[in-house]
Structure 1
Amino acid sequence: MTLPEFFGCTFIAFGTPFAMFIFTIANDSIRIIILIAAAFFWLLSLLISSLLWFAVVPLREYLWFGVTFSVLFQEGFRYIVYRILRYTEHGLQLVTDNPRIIENKHILAYVSGLGFGVMSGMFALVNLLADIAGPATMGLTGGSEVFMLISSAQALAMILLHTFWSVIFFNAFDTKNYFHIVYVVCTHLFVSLITLLYVQEQYTAILLPTYILTLVTAAMAFKAAGGSKTSLTHFIKCQ
């Protein structure tokens, strides 16, 4: 059962992001480069937050401290990615054969957000996936047998949220919508902090608000990207 569980949890967490990559990014080299660069910046945010956690010895035992500053550094590097992409737009226009990537600025936000999300999901899940590959696990360290399914679903939500957050975040700075900037930071902080409830195995208290926020954030990102009821209805009819 360990191998089917490994592949099942992997596809739950990364199946949708992989499909998004194949259908929207893989055919454009510039998008691939942006995605990899965004993933690298997420790694830098993790490195800096880890250095801070290591340096502040008295607060090492408090997980909320590490989580809070990790979120703040991630959002700081999201802003750095935003500034870099806006600064290099002219150069990207010269090297790309696809003008839509410049004309539609939301594409840059979407791609960089997916890069953030995939790297975040990999770090959250890769060690757990390695553990369930064998020889046998029914809940890690004596925990609930649904722990891996919950973790995979949570990783998927975080990947999607990072994608939506970047679309909202980039557009918020373009339009000076400070409410949306605060929304992104606060919801990111909230979703990250409630994962501390894993210790009490409060899985409903983690997944339910996370997926409600995912749906709300998806709707906000859709609207920020210029979507409307008319465009959504037209898209559904075309399908």
Structure 2
Amino acid sequence: MEKIFGRPKGLTEVPFHYCPGCTHGIIHRLIGEVLEELDIIEDTIGVAPVGCSGFMLDMFSCDMVGGAHGRAQAVATGIKRALPDRMVFTYQGDGDIAAIGMSHAIHTAARGEKITSIMVNNAVFGMTGGQMAPTTLTGQISTTSPYGRDNVFAGPPIDLPKTIATLAGAVYVAAGSVDSPKNIIEAKKMIKKAFQVQEQGLGFAFVSILSTCPSNWRLSPVDSLKWLRENMIPAYQMGEIKATEEVKAL
């Protein structure tokens, strides 16, 4: 019998071991498919910080480097400048890139570093215990906001793609989700274009993907998807937020 669906060459045989209902695995697969379709596996270096994203070091077929918490983009910048012919990407949670890594995110975009950054936004710090993140929604309960996020105390959530889009060095900024087949298809297109931007040396590319975190949200996998659709998608600007004329021509 002919095999018509399998693991993309961009992924290793290491099984995903994320919590049930977590959508990291879907995003991993999309990246693995893109690496294979663009035929850049051997030329790519991925950078992951600590947290749930740290598991991916063994899951991708390309070279992988581990970075300190929030410093993946600093590490990626050094790699890209030392090896400008390589494709370099970071894969970071929202708690990582929008909190301790915020200064790196802003200045990486401002400098127009020719790397690709993917932010997985589940509105909490995942592995470290479900604490409130800069992306936690107003009123959302977390381990450090047991009565819900109070905007008077903590300020409103940060929509990082919108902030990154204001910087000239960021030539492609998009935000998607993996909660449905339609959105998964769109998210893959965004990820692929972000890598193509780097292939052409056009500047910094940033893609945010909304993801579930059933364990820290204290919801079932099915209810997590529903919560994401009803609460996160309306709260964040979605789609291609910024694309320069050169990017549109790709």
Question: For this structure pair, what is the TM-score category when the shorter chain's length is used for normalisation?
Answer: 0.3 to 0.5
- Max Rg structure: 1
Query: Which one has more relative contact order, counting CA pairs under 8 Å at least 6 apart?
Result: 1
